[in-house]
């Protein structure tokens, strides 16, 4: 199993947000996590990626056979965990190329490889860009390029759709579908069924009050769209 | 900044931007202006910003260790100024920046 989360409890500033969450993800799978606001979906993403301020009070996060609780965020990233943020973060004055090159070379350093030459890097960038763009329209998004360049084993999309219009959404989904293969897995956190029209999940999980309260196939997302979230509170 | 009495129609714009690293620091700037000619136009401006938690985590999440991430952010911040420096000096300044940043975190 690629990711195996057991009885995860996470607190922020002493307040418990995740209250015994279990989740297993195999290579080759796409999982969707849905649920109302404030049920801990983003906290889960933060805990998996090791963000500071999210205190794991109980439980384990097994990834590629290692319990990664306590591992630094950059080491987790270099082990292949990728998070697509809800809102893109900007670093003024740093070009896409410069940022990407720093990231690629950091990963190479972690793997004990020498930094990439400028020529090789530009070539790789071009190839990967072509891989994820919608060719007929030359449309692309930086997050797709990042995923293509860093080749994560586990990519988490944390409500990436909330800031995107329908065209941008299609581009991101296109990238995910291009990159998805039998060796990697995607966890898509979303409020809406809409994104799941383009990224078809194998499993849909519903979160409520810090736990996964229901798991089903892709039809569960349709059911939620129709019935809303009220009924899951009874579960 | 000092404008002498004979400097007719002189123009000055001073910009002073500070970037804060960590939560135990502050920036104090005193723009100093002495104007001896009434036709001059002088302006000054100061901004203070800090490396945000989001920016830092974003870099780390892309595999970039904290110290390198800060170097990247600071160099990006200072890019406009570094770009205006003569080549030899720009390289020096960049190196100087990264040395100053070593051990500034954690």
pLDDT along chain A (235 residues), means of 10: 98 96 98 94 97 96 97 98 91 93 97 96 95 80 93 94 83 94 96 89 96 94 88 82
pLDDT of residue A100: 96
Judge: A106–B64 Cβ closer than 8 Å, yes or no.
yes
* Nearest-neighbour CA in chain A from B99: distance (Å): 18
How many residue pairs bridge chain A and chain B with CB atoms within 8 Å of each other?
A: 68
Task: Tell me the three state secondary structure of residue B38.
Answer: coil
Kindly tell me if the per-residue pLDDT of B1 is higher than 50.
yes
Asked if B70 reaches chain A (Cβ–Cβ under 8 Å), the answer is no
| Band of pLDDT at residue B31, cut at 50, 70 and 90 | confident
Chain B residues with CB under 8 Å of A74 CB are 60-61, 63-66
pLDDT, tens only, A45-74: 999 999 999 999 999 999 999 999 999 999
pLDDT of residue B105: 55
pLDDT of residue A134: 83
pLDDT of residue B103: 61
pLDDT of residue A51: 96
The interface predicted TM-score (ipTM) is 0.93
- A-chain residue closest to B82, CA distance: A93
pLDDT of residue A4: 98
* Nearest-neighbour CA in chain B from A153: distance (Å): 13
pLDDT of residue B104: 61
pLDDT of residue B49: 87
Kindly tell me if the per-residue pLDDT of B33 is higher than 90.
no
pLDDT of residue A191: 83
Kindly tell me if the per-residue pLDDT of B25 is higher than 90.
no
Asked if A142 reaches chain B (Cβ–Cβ under 8 Å), the answer is no
CATH of A30-51+75-234, one of 3.40.50.300, 1.10.3720.10, 3.40.190.290, 3.30.1490.100: 3.40.50.300
A179-215 exposure pattern, b = at least 16 Cβ within 10 A, e = fewer: bbeeebbbbbbbbebebbebbebebbbbbbebbbbbe
Average pLDDT over residues B17-34: 84
Q: What is the mean pLDDT of chain A?
A: 93
Q: Domain map of chain A by residue range? A: 30-51+75-234
pLDDT, tens only, B54-104: 999 999 999 999 989 998 999 899 888 888 888 888 888 877 777 767 666
């Amino acid at each position: 199993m690629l990711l195996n989360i057991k009885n995860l409890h996470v607190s922020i500033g002493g307040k418990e947000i995740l209250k015994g969450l279990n989740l297993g993800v195999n290579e080759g799978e796409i999982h969707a996590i849905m649920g109302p606001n404030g049920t801990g979906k983003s906290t889960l993403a933060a805990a998996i990626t090791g963000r500071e301020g999210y205190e794991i009070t109980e439980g384990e996060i097994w990834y590629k056979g290692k319990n990664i609780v306590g591992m630094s965020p950059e080491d987790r990233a270099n082990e292949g965990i990728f998070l697509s943020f809800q809102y893109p973060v900007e670093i003024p004055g740093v070009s896409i190329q410069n940022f990407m090159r720093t990231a690629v070379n950091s990963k190479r350093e972690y793997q004990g490889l020498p930094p990439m030459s400028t020529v090789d890097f530009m070539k790789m960038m071009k190839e990967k860009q072509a891989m994820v763009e919608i060719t007929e329209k030359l449309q692309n998004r930086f997050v797709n390029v990042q995923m293509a360049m860093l080749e994560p084993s586990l990519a988490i999309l944390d409500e990436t759709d909330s800031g995107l219009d329908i065209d941008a959404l299609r581009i991101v989904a296109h990238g995910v579908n291009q990159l998805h293969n039998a060796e990697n897995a995607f966890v898509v956190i979303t409020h809406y069924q809409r994104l799941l029209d383009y990224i078809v999940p194998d499993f849909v999980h519903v979160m409520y009050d810090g736990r996964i309260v229901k798991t089903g196939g892709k039809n569960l997302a349709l059911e939620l769209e129709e019935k809303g979230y009220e009924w899951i509170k009874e579960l | 900044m000092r404008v002498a009495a004979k400097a007719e129609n002189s123009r000055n714009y001073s910009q002073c931007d500070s970037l804060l690293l960590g939560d135990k620091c502050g920036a104090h700037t005193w723009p100093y202006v002495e104007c001896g000619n009434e036709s001059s136009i002088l302006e000054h401006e100061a901004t203070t910003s800090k490396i945000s938690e989001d920016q830092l985590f974003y870099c780390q999440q892309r595999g970039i260790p904290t110290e390198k991430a800060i170097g990247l952010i600071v160099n990006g911040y200072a890019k406009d100024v570094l770009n205006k420096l003569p080549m030899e000096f720009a390289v020096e300044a960049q190196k100087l920046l990264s040395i100053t940043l070593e051990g500034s975190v954690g």
